[in-house]
Structure 1
Amino acid sequence: MSILLLDVDGTLIDSLPGIQGGFLHTLDQLGWPHPEQEFTDRIAGPPMEVTLRSLGMSPEQAYEGLQIYLEYTRRGGWANATSFPGMLDLLRRWREQGLTIATATSKGEGFARLILEREGFLDYIDFLGAAQEDGPRRGKSAVIDYVLDANGWAADTHAILMVGDRSHDIEGAAEHGIDTVAVSWGYGTPEEWATAAHTAHTPQDLEGIVNDWLAARG
């Protein structure tokens, strides 16, 4: 069995507009000043409470902010997202090749299911691995733990390739001995991509990297 573990935000889905909208709404509700645009352009990836803490908020303030952000997202913020061109067709071809496809996203499970279903991805995903919207399973490493445990894959990490766009994807996979492909159409930086085993600049690049990985596995 060959398994692809896919990030969602920044890999399959361009969700930054909705995340930014919820983030700025949260800051306004808390009376917190907006950071520079460069900071706001990089917020997709880590759990929202981690981003809020990085601004100097206390754990209590960040938790309050998370509740505001989740409510914004429930009221429609989740829908302000679109799929990256070429990725749906790529998942379709991977399934035709017999690959097993799972997600590992820090996006809340309910929100991930809604957007992936609307954009047509859910038909090609064997297991939806996501964060809890308000629970202990929040960071990337915890989500990967959940995916491995739920499917009995912990002993098969050599058969898994992680695809993501941020350092959180690469580091979370590395904690489990999983190689990673970084995709440059997401929200990461060249410095983040350099820590992955491979970098793909287009879906065609990604398809070639996966094919080479499959061939190397025999």
Structure 2
Amino acid sequence: MPSDLKLAIWDIDGTIVDSRQVIQRAMARAFERAGLPPIEYDRTRTIVGLELTEAIMRLAPPDYPAERIPHLATYYKEAFVEQRAETGFQEKLYEGARETIERLAGEGWLLGVATGKARRGLDIVFGHHDLHRYFDTFQTVDGGAGKPHPRMVLDAMKETGTDPHQAVMIGDTSFDMEMGRNAGVHTLGVSWGFHTEDEIRGGGAHDVHHDFDALNRALDVFGRGVEESAA
């Protein structure tokens, strides 16, 4: 394998796609159907990126019966599907996301996804925005352990033939940063999604960026470092 390979592994929700309102509405509807008190966005945002059952367990009241957790997760899935069928439904790409993805692919980067979504959800979002063609590896919770376990990053590197020093994890939550750190790769946080800058840094981000221009500059620096180490 070439020694100058570069792999950018992307989170989806809150990093590429602005799904904040969609996720909050689905969680609010799920809690309502379960007869639970309303859930506030500032609680919902803290669990985005985790595998759904674990996320629901963190959000449910302490006395909520454990055997009801799968039902609450089902309510969430149903609410998400309902939203997709509603007139005017959108999960917009963040401004600059497509341009950055296209640029990296055009420059020979390998691109990967590591998401708390199931593969079906990934395919719906990427199909809507015609993004599959840019990516080389797709890691979802269907394949095993979710964030912050390093499994998805390790599998992405294995599939693309890259080593940790050639890979960078890009995401908007502390779970993304922990996952990347646990896999031994560089971690770049973005502040336009679900977690705050302090939370992202607390997860071990090497740096946090506030727009795609800054993220692009950081990726260029990382890429040059990989190329120089291979020279």
**Shared fold per TM-score greater than 0.5:** yes
Residue correspondences, number: 214
**Matches of 1:77 and 1:19 in 2, distance apart?**
11
Instruction: Choose the corresponding residue for 2:194, options 187, 190, 198.
Output: 187
* CA shift for structure 1 position 139: 3.4
Instruction: Choose the corresponding residue for 1:216, options 225, 228, 231.
Output: 225
**Matches of 2:120 and 2:22 in 1, distance apart?**
15
For residues 40-96 of structure 1, the C-alpha deviation after alignment (integer angstroms, 9 at most, x for no partner) is: 344432233223212324442222211222233234449541110111011111011
**1:1-20, aligned counterparts within 5 Å?**
1-20=5-24
Kindly indicate whether the alpha-carbon contact (under 8 Å) linking 1:5 and 1:161 is maintained by their aligned counterparts in 2. Answer: yes
Greater Rg over alpha carbons, structure: 2
Change in CA separation of 1:62 and 1:145 when aligned onto 2, cut-off 3 Å: farther
**Matches of 1:76 and 1:211 in 2, distance apart?**
38
In the other structure, the counterpart of 1:125 is 135
Change in CA separation of 1:58 and 1:173 when aligned onto 2, cut-off 3 Å: farther
**Matches of 1:192 and 1:104 in 2, distance apart?**
19
In the other structure, the counterpart of 1:21 is 25
Residue 68 of structure 1 aligns to a residue whose secondary structure is helix
In the other structure, the counterpart of 2:55 is 51
Write the letter of the residue equivalent to 1:157.
Answer: P
Write the letter of the residue equivalent to 2:135.
Answer: I
Residue 14 of structure 1 aligns to a residue whose secondary structure is coil
Residue 198 of structure 2 aligns to a residue whose secondary structure is helix
Matched, 1:139 2:147: yes
Write the letter of the residue equivalent to 2:207.
Answer: H
**Matches of 1:59 and 1:144 in 2, distance apart?**
30
Kindly indicate whether the alpha-carbon contact (under 8 Å) linking 2:15 and 2:190 is maintained by their aligned counterparts in 1. Answer: yes
**1:192-207, aligned counterparts within 5 Å?**
192-194=199-201, 195-207=204-216
Residue ranges of structure 1 left out of the alignment (5+ in a row): none
In the other structure, the counterpart of 1:83 is 93
Residue ranges of structure 2 left out of the alignment (5+ in a row): none
Report the identity percentage: 21
Change in CA separation of 1:58 and 1:160 when aligned onto 2, cut-off 3 Å: farther
* CA shift for structure 1 position 145: 4.1
**Matches of 1:47 and 1:16 in 2, distance apart?**
17
For residues 6-43 of structure 1, the C-alpha deviation after alignment (integer angstroms, 9 at most, x for no partner) is: 00001100112221121111111211112344213444
Residue 33 of structure 1 aligns to a residue whose secondary structure is coil
TM-score (norm: length of structure 2)? 0.84
**Matches of 1:130 and 1:43 in 2, distance apart?**
16
Instruction: Choose the corresponding residue for 1:161, options 168, 171, 188.
Output: 168
Write the letter of the residue equivalent to 2:7.
Answer: I
Mean Cα deviation higher: 118-127 or 100-109: 118-127
